[in-house]
Amino acid sequence: MEEIENNQALNPQNNEQDLPLDGNLLDQIARNMSFIGIASIIGSVLIVLFLVYFLSVGSKYNFERISSTTIYTTVFAFILIIAVLLFISGLFLRKGKYAFEQFFRTSSLLDFHNGINIQITFFSIYIALIGLNLLYQIIQLFI
């Protein structure tokens, strides 16, 4: 029993007072992450719906008259990648929200680290998204 008490004293993970993080702030971050996550998922679904609509409308017209079909295929693939990335980032943001909520319940440092890890993954996907946007801007400059 004494050994367990000693372990708990050494281990600050289960003691909320040892981790004086602003709970209100983290709660707001979790809510914001959830909102942005849902919006990203809705946005990605809307983008895919728009692509499907555009393809169905576009089939009525002869694209080859306007431009090469390969350009359209590339643009569609590009937009599809963005939609998929948005969807994945949305899922990760929702996951991050749950990790922080778990941290509020348990005050476990493991859950806090999990939340930070998910944030890191989200920011990595965000980098890819902005990178794609930059690539698009660069291509536009040359066209």
Q: Which residues of 50-78 are buried (b: 16+ CB within 10 A; e: fewer)?
A: ebeeeeeeeeeeeeeeeeeeeebeeeeee
- Compute the least distance from the CB of residue 71 to other proteins, in Å: 19
In Å, how far are 7, 88, 114 from 14, measured between CA atoms?
11, 32, 15
Q: What is the CA radius of gyration of the chain?
A: 23
Residue nearer to other proteins on the CB measure, 16 or 66: 16
How many Cβ atoms are within 10 Å of 37's Cβ, its own excluded?
20
Residue nearer to other proteins on the CB measure, 69 or 133: 133
The tokens for 8 are 């708990």
Residues 109 to 128 in contact with other proteins, rule: CB under 8 A: 109, 112-113, 116-117, 119-120, 123-124, 126-127
Rounded to the nearest 10 degrees, the angle between the axes of helix 69-106 and helix 23-58 is 160
Residues 48 to 107 in contact with other proteins, rule: CB under 8 A: none
CA distance 83 to 140: 20
Select from 9, 39, 52, 55 the one that contacts other proteins (CB under 8 A): 39
Is 33 an interacting residue with respect to other proteins (CB under 8 A)?
Answer: yes
Q: Which stretch binds other proteins (CB under 8 A): 34-42, 52-60, 64-72, 76-84?
A: 34-42
- Compute the least distance from the CB of residue 69 to other proteins, in Å: 26
**Positions in the binding site for other proteins (CB under 8 A):** 11-13, 18-22, 25-26, 28-29, 32-33, 35-36, 39, 42-43, 46, 109, 112-113, 116-117, 119-120, 123-124, 126-127, 130-131, 133-134, 137-138, 140-141
